[in-house]
């Protein structure tokens, strides 16, 4: 089912470019974990590769305590922008101060491997980040955030916190998934050249890591969201692929 036209009244450039939740591969249930547990065992992944179901639900309840009966704003900086996998009533452009988009999370699976890890984008401290915020209506918050926690807290490497986000229509208090600096997957202070080479060379079951960066940059451009750092990283990673090709 497509989004209602008024969802994009503040962001007309997004209309027709956002994946409806019923078409999203990222809107999955508990059975998806069962499939991946089998794969993890076959491939010899280490224990603790994903977050325990009970711990994930406990985290959701704690973070959303007192907020389950109100509309929920969510800040999106990556794939949540164009593929939220949840029911949304409103989109706005938003700017988050104090955090920036960064490839600082190690990928040992998906688009990387333990032998040749890749990188995933996250929000790290410092600077600012342009993205969007979307609003989940109060009546759907409990049900829809279950899907969101399965996706965003899959490995337990984010910290879900609430942050003030500036939008052209006014400030909102938005749920924001930032990098957990205590996570074993956090790679702080990576030199841009090192990060670009990791992205250029890594590949996993879901394909090359570079395709993830390419998708991110392409979607940000299409949606009118500027990030010069991502363009610079993309240019270096592209050059690295040319050298090795």
Q: Which residues are catalytic?
A: 152
C-alpha distances out from residue 47 to 31, 32, 137, Å = 19, 18, 37
Residue 156 to residue 159: CA distance in whole angstroms: 8
C-alpha distances out from residue 126 to 30, 95, 160, 242, Å = 35, 13, 17, 32
Q: What's the residue count for the chain?
A: 245
Tokens 């890591």 — which residue? Answer: 209
DSSP string covering 180-244: -TTSTTB-TT--HHHHHHHHHH-EETTEEHHHHHHHHHHHHHHTT---HHHHHHHHHHHHHHHHH
With a CB cutoff of 8 Å and minimum separation 6, the contacts of 70 are 138, 141
Residue 154 to residue 149: CA distance in whole angstroms: 7
- DSSP for residue 35: H
Per the structure block, which two tokens stand in for 9? 């009244």
């Amino acid at each position: 089912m497509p989004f209602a036209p008024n969802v994009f009244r503040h962001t007309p450039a997004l209309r027709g470019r956002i994946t409806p939740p019923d078409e999203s591969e990222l809107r999955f249930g508990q059975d998806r974990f069962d499939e991946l547990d089998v794969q993890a065992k076959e491939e010899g992944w280490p224990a603790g590769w994903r977050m325990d179901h009970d711990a994930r639900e406990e985290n959701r309840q704690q973070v959303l305590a007192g907020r389950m009966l109100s509309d929920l704003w969510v800040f999106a900086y990556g794939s949540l922008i164009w593929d939220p996998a949840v029911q949304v009533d409103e989109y706005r452009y938003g700017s988050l101060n104090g955090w920036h988009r960064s490839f600082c999370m190690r990928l040992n699976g998906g688009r990387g491997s333990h032998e040749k890890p890749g990188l995933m984008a996250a929000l790290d401290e410092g600077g600012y980040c342009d993205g969007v915020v979307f609003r989940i209506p109060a009546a759907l918050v409990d049900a829809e955030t279950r899907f969101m926690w399965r996706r965003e807290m899959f490995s337990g490497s984010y910290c879900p916190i609430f942050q003030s986000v500036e939008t052209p229509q006014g400030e909102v208090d938005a749920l924001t998934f930032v990098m957990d600096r205590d996570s074993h997957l956090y790679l702080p202070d990576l030199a841009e050249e090192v990060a670009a080479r990791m992205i250029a060379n890594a590949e996993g079951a879901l394909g090359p890591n570079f395709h993830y960066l390419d998708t991110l940059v392409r979607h940000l451009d299409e949606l009118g969201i500027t990030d010069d750092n991502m363009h610079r990283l993309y240019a270096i990673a592209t050059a690295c692929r040319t050298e090795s090709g």
